[in-house]
Structure 1
């Protein structure tokens, strides 16, 4: 039994892919800000899969997932699973400074009601089944790129994704180094690379403000490259940030649909159906 949350748009595709039944619950944000949840079907003795991505409104979705899971437990669901394509608060390489809260540590305690949780390219200290979208991204670009191409990640922490994409395409990969200045600003550096005549695919797990990609594109453009393509798993960037990436020199931006975006062109629904069911 599959049920979608407020951001559970992938539930329909997942249900179709695996042949599971899809059921809708009543979800409403009341005018004074509270969340209303009501089950409209019998769940007693059932294994239930809640599909809900954490963007937009991650804090609201965190609470909504808890309300839905508790309702399922209250009315006799046998096991409750979470399919969360994107989980917030999971940035790689973010070191806590004195006084900061480790959000995933708190989230992990709250979400122990779930028998198991699944996510796509998740990074963080939480008990989650991590499913990689690297092959899907590599497959998408394999037909678009010529023989002289390279995969580059603007962040060392995305090496696993870059390697997986490169392997699927059948090419090499390189890593840049990202230094985070504050919550929204970074510095990207790289060893000198001669990319003359190359098609360059820049890949990262997540695009938030797009500043890393913009700086990476500037570094790549120091060579006479043929074209620059940009891809990520989770595209949290708004239209203005995506436009900045295009203006800086990207020929195309492609993301998966873990988060609905203007550039979501690769669906992870079949991948999730295959790995979860």
Structure 2
């Protein structure tokens, strides 16, 4: 494609984890994806060669670190080293989904705080800045000694719910556990809705958890909101609990579709009306599912990268009215393609 972004030293490269998002992001900004060859030796070692000069350029390197997380993390580290040795001016790691984020503290003796270890590895490899979305714990930003732009897809998801009439005055936003309450409050504020919490209690002598609902959900439409969906078990159990408490329709909403194993099948049989997620993780290799609705973060990331490059504030990207224009633009693009 023809490059349109005004700064020719603004370069976007993609590794293997989510090339469709990287391509969409590059198109959103108006640049071509950089050329790099990623190959493997017979024993599985990764080899990367950058096939164009990037001397003096500001590089934005797109790579989520979802499954296979170790492979994708090594790709990111090796590419960062190659860019540094090729005299890039700055290396900005755009990590839509930051893997290992759930290992952000020691829950038991003699455990690693792996989220901190990954932060150290990125900085040591030569990353100058990290751009990411909806970290499992916001305090992970403090693990880095380099700038971190922690973006949120909450307003984007809230606008999608409103624009598609999936949320109204009868909606309750539900946290599937106590840990996600602050996240749910943010969504509830954007939807002008009350909140509820799934209270999970279990005895050390009884592995079967007792799930109860804190809040009024009877006759209400519930939106279960979390940062990610992995095995799907949490959403499935929460949905059943809400239905028992009298909820009418239950939607699941999350930023990161980790969807390990047979999670999609579990969600399909759970009683959920719809599952709304973003494209921080590429699902093109998975079997399509009609109840899964995926919205793009390319517009949000694209504007963020331009603002970072031009030394402008990214604060407006958290505003509901602003993010609503991004989704409108996406809808206009789809209409023009038909």
Tell me if both proteins adopt one fold, taking TM over 0.5 as the criterion.
Answer: yes
Residue 133 (structure 1) aligns with: 153
| 2:30 counterpart residue number | 19
**TM alignment of 1:95-174, pairs within 5 A:** 95-112=106-123, 113-124=126-137, 125=140, 126-127=143-144, 128-142=148-162, 143-174=165-196
Take 2:35 and 2:298, find their aligned partners in 1: how far apart are those partners? 18
Which residues of structure 2 form unaligned runs of 5+?
1-10, 307-338
Distance 1:204 1:86, change over 3 A: same
Cα 1:94/1:206, change in 2 over 3 Å: farther
Q: Which residue of 2 aligns with 1:47?
A: 58
The residue aligned with 1:175 is 197
| Cα distance change of structure 1 residues 62 and 239 upon mapping to structure 2, 3 Å threshold | closer
Matched, 1:272 2:322: no
- Offset of residue 245 of structure 1: 2.5
Once the 2 structures are TM-superposed, how far is the Cα of residue 190 of structure 1 from its aligned partner? 3.6
Measured after TM superposition, the shift of residue 167 of structure 1 is: 2.2
Q: Distance in 2 between matches of 1:186 and 1:29?
A: 45
Matched residue SS, 2:253: strand
Post-superposition CA distance 1:89-128 (Å, at most 9, x none): 1127764311211112211211111110011101343333
Matched with 2:329 is: none
- Which structure 2 residues correspond to residues 232-271 of structure 1 after superposition, within 5 A? 232-238=254-260, 240-261=262-283, 262=288, 263=292, 265-271=294-300
User: 1: CA distance between counterparts of 2:121 and 2:104?
Assistant: 23
Residue in structure 1 matched with residue 46 of structure 2 by the alignment: 35
Q: CA deviation at 1:214?
A: 1.5
Aligned-partner SS, 2:281: coil
Change (3 A) 1:99 1:151: same
Structure 1 residue 239: Cα displacement: 6.4
- The equivalent of 1:7 in structure 2 is 17
Matched with 1:71 is: 82
* TM-score normalised according to structure 1 size: 0.91
- Which residue in the other structure is 2:217 paired with? 195
CA distance in 2, matches of 1:180, 1:74: 53
* CA-CA distance at 1:175 after TM superposition: 2.6
CA 1:187–1:116: 2 relative to 1, 3 Å? farther
**CA 1:222–1:15: 2 relative to 1, 3 Å:** same
> Do the aligned partners of residues 272 and 139 (structure 1) sit closer, same or farther apart at CA in structure 2, a change above 3 Å counting?
same
Alignment: residue pair count: 275
Q: Secondary structure at the match of 2:269?
A: helix
Conserved? CA contact 2:218–2:248, under 8 Å: yes
SS at match of 2:237: helix
Scaled by the length of structure 2, what TM-score is found?
0.75
CA drift at 1:237? 1.3
Residues 188, 216 of structure 1: 8 Å contact kept: no
Change (3 A) 1:212 1:229: same
CA deviation after TM superposition for structure 1 residue 63, in Å? 1.0
Describe the SS at the equivalent of 2:264.
helix
